[in-house]
A and B are shown apart, each in its own frame.
Chain A
Amino acid sequence: MNPAVEIQKPSLLKFWGSRVISAIAAIAFCAGIQSLGGPLADNEFLYRIIVLSGLYVTLAVSLNLINGITGQFSIGHAAFYQVGAYTAGYLTVRMFSTQQIGEVPWLILMCLVGAAAAAITGLIVGLPSLRLKGDYLAIVTLGFGEIIRIIAINIDEVGGAYGLSIVPKIQSPWLIWALAILCIAVCRNLLKTAHGLPFLAVREDEVASSAMGVSTTKIKVTAFVIGSSFAGAAGALLAHYEAFITPDMFKMEVSFIVLTMVVIGGTGSITGSTVAALALFLLPEWLRGLKEANGDALVVSAPQLLGATLAIIAYIALARRVRDHYHGKPIQKAGFQFGVAAASLVLFFLFKAVFAQIGGLAGHEGWEINSLRMAIFAAVLIVIMLLRPQGVFGHHEFSWAWLKSLFVKKKQEAS
């Protein structure tokens, strides 16, 4: 048994000291990212993915707030990414030249605008579906992700299917990572204070939560809106970094990849989401290499969409399992779920083989690696779920105390 715990106020020095150190570390990190541009000038691709991986960290950590910490089931995070990107991008195109604002302040302002737009959208989408019990949020967010993309395709004002070119190009690599760090800090702070407990309580048991005075709808909507607004801010930064956005950049595949990051990292663990986001974003990008063929968008997207759909079926089956695991329920019908997951994978490879033939005839190879990526994700997901349903990190978080304990233990063993 654990000894009784002494609960003390953190000393002022420790409290402010650790915050100052964290702030300095964050600033140093962002400055480091910014200045990497120099040495990596001749390896533009590498620098680009290092910078952009910050966006995926933001996306995964913010989705983790909704799905992992609060236990909801949003599977259309890309929609909010898109809302932020289009809102901010469009405003820059229309208004930047007429304002007397510096580039960085403008970019920060656009982040806030993107976040606000995504937050409002999140409220509209989340409020009705989160009031209901059950997986309505999954269905609604999935549908919404597609709807918002199709809307963008059909509005010529924002470039339609062709996309929106954002001039002037305002790139700020450090800001992308500053947002990621802010997102991590906000989630960590939430879990460090008692204010995070109602979120976890809702994940654990809604009936018991409301009996303890927790307004479950309010908590779920709060998590959803905060999570969505971070995705919106990330979208705003993406739009300006790329200086060109198309509806294709916000396909279901993006939502699916972010979901995979959260599940693999360990739903609920911020550390897990961060590490998984980096690993899953950097590795395939690295593999893809410099010579990525941009291909014909239509031919590229058909097998991808199919792959994504099948992979989502697999995902839903597996995510249910994770949820049962949380609630300490015996895992029911696991065999069936794995059957579905395995069957969808087999189907996926079958379709892929067929499309590979067609693609080969048409002379397109660009999508090969891309759709294979989806298959690899799905396969990794299944392996993880089998071996470790709570994700790689489970509910654990990185902490200095943990790091210290590793060394202290080693010393004790040595002596």
Chain B
Amino acid sequence: MANTAEQETQATLDESATPILELADATIKFGGLTAVDSVSFTLNKGDLFGLIGPNGAGKTTVFNIITGVYKPTSGDILFNGRNIAGLKPEKVAQLGICRTFQNIRLFGSLSVLENVVVGGFLRKKTGLFSALALLPPAVNETTELRKKAMDLLEVMDLADVAQSRAADLPYGKQRRLEIARAMATGPDLILLDEPAAGMNPQEKEALATTVRRIRDDFDKTVLLIEHDMRFVMNLCERIVVLDHGVEISAGTPDIVRNDPKVIEAYLGEESE
């Protein structure tokens, strides 16, 4: 893959003018617990952005309020300039944000291919009646969706298991299938929640290449959560660090890596 430093300067020079996602003082409280506390950051189009922090920092909760699983208690979430805070998850997906799940949530008894078709179905054009009567429009669209899904499976290196039951896949492949399914919805922004969790070093390497491809070849903006520091620092161009729901640091991997607050947060975690 090309020089990330070069891409970074390019990103900051040309494209910083087009923010795609802005969190403005996003806050969510669960009873007495403030899981996300006035978090603000901005993703620009084409960013490969990392969200890190110790366990329980509120990272997944940030994904949940972006994708409409929870409505933020206060604050705004702007996607392409539109406030999406509190929209239903399906609406958010239709607008062009899709995600993967930390605790894999595939459609277990469907085939790998069918899982991806469910993602692609979001952009369907034919109606239910056409399907119930098995009219050519629905049949042809089904073929097209399956073809597109198959193409995505090739990209994610899952073509050989297309007909397997999703639940029967090994862990690493399930994670890749989650990404393929999310990609199938045709999002502008893709959120990956710990995509490398449970992978071995080779799989992680391949995953990093794939994530770069998603950004470079498919023109997606990527926001990812990851615990593996090496993985994040090598892959992401900008990073936000959360701890106890609060944003404690932000910037390039170098800035974040050397930030005393970040070191302290992670050390604190280790000593706990």
Contacts and interface: CB of A to CB of B under 8 A. Distances in A.
A contacts with B: majority SS? helix
A193 B131 contact: yes
Interface in B107-130: 107-110, 113-114, 117-122, 124, 126, 128, 130
Nearest to A222: B128
Interface string A244-257: 00000000000000
B109 A395 contact: yes
B160 A197 contact: no
Interface in B143-175: 143, 145-147, 150, 159-164, 167
B138 A193 contact: yes
Given A211-B93, A213-B93, A194 B121 contact: yes
A189 B93 CA distance: 27
Q: Most chain-B Cβ atoms within 10 A of its Cβ — which of A3, A10, A190, A195?
A: A195
A361 interface: no
A196 interface: yes
Contacts of A204: 106-110
B139 A190 contact: no
Contact of A208 (B88, B106, B121): B106
A296 to B, nearest CB: 45
A193 B126 CA distance: 11
B contacts with A: majority SS? helix
Nearest to A215: B90
A290 B32 CA distance: 69
A193 to B, nearest CB: 4
Nearest to B67: A211
A210 to B, nearest CB: 4
A197 B139 contact: no
B1 interface: no
B134 A189 contact: yes
Given A4-B160, A205-B107, A195 B93 contact: no
Contacts of B113: 5
Interface of B: 67, 69, 88-90, 93-94, 98-99, 101, 105-110, 113-114, 117-122, 124, 126, 128, 130-134, 136, 138-143, 145-147, 150, 159-164, 167, 181-182, 185
Interface string A372-389: 000000000000000000
Interface in A310-368: 326-328
Given A5-B113, A9-B143, A190 B93 contact: no
Contacts of A214: 90, 118, 121-122
A67 B244 CA distance: 42
Given A1-B164, A189-B134, 6 more contacts: A2-B164, A4-B160, A186-B132, A198-B121, A211-B93, A212-B185
Given A204-B110, A212-B118, A196 B131 contact: yes
A207 interface: yes
A200 interface: yes
Nearest to A185: B134
Contacts of B110: 197, 200-201, 204
B139 A15 contact: yes
Nearest to B143: A9
Nearest to A5: B162
A409 interface: no
Contact of A212 (B88, B98, B133, B159): B98
Contacts of A5: 113, 150, 162-163
Contacts of B128: 195, 222
B241 to A, nearest CB: 25
20 contacts: A3-B160, A4-B150, A4-B159, A5-B150, A7-B147, A193-B142, A194-B146, A195-B128, A195-B130, A195-B138, A204-B106, A204-B108, A205-B107, A207-B105, A208-B105, A210-B88, A210-B89, A211-B69, A211-B105, A212-B93
B94 A213 contact: yes
Contacts of B138: 193-195
A34 interface: no
B108 A328 contact: yes
B131 A207 contact: no
B185 A4 contact: no
Interface of A: 1-5, 7-10, 15, 19, 185-186, 189-190, 192-198, 200-201, 204-205, 207-216, 222, 326-328, 395
A190 B131 contact: yes
B185 A213 contact: yes
Contacts of A196: 131
Contact of A189 (B88, B94, B126, B131): B131
Contacts of B90: 210, 213-216
Given A2-B162, A213-B90, A214-B121, A9 B140 contact: yes
Contacts of B150: 4-5, 7
A201 B118 contact: yes
Contacts of A327: 108
Contacts of A216: 90
A212 B163 contact: no
Query: 9 shortest A-B CB distances, which residue pairs?
Result: A195-B131, A213-B93, A213-B122, A204-B107, A208-B105, A210-B89, A193-B131, A189-B134, A194-B142
A92 B107 CA distance: 47
Given A9-B143, A189-B132, A214-B90, A197 B117 contact: yes
Contacts of B181: 212
A200 B165 CA distance: 13
B132 A190 contact: yes
Given A194-B145, A201-B118, A1 B161 contact: yes
A158 B163 CA distance: 54
Contact of A198 (B118, B140, B141, B164): B118
A10 B153 CA distance: 22
A5 B134 CA distance: 22
Contacts of A3: 160
Nearest to A325: B109
A211 B159 contact: no
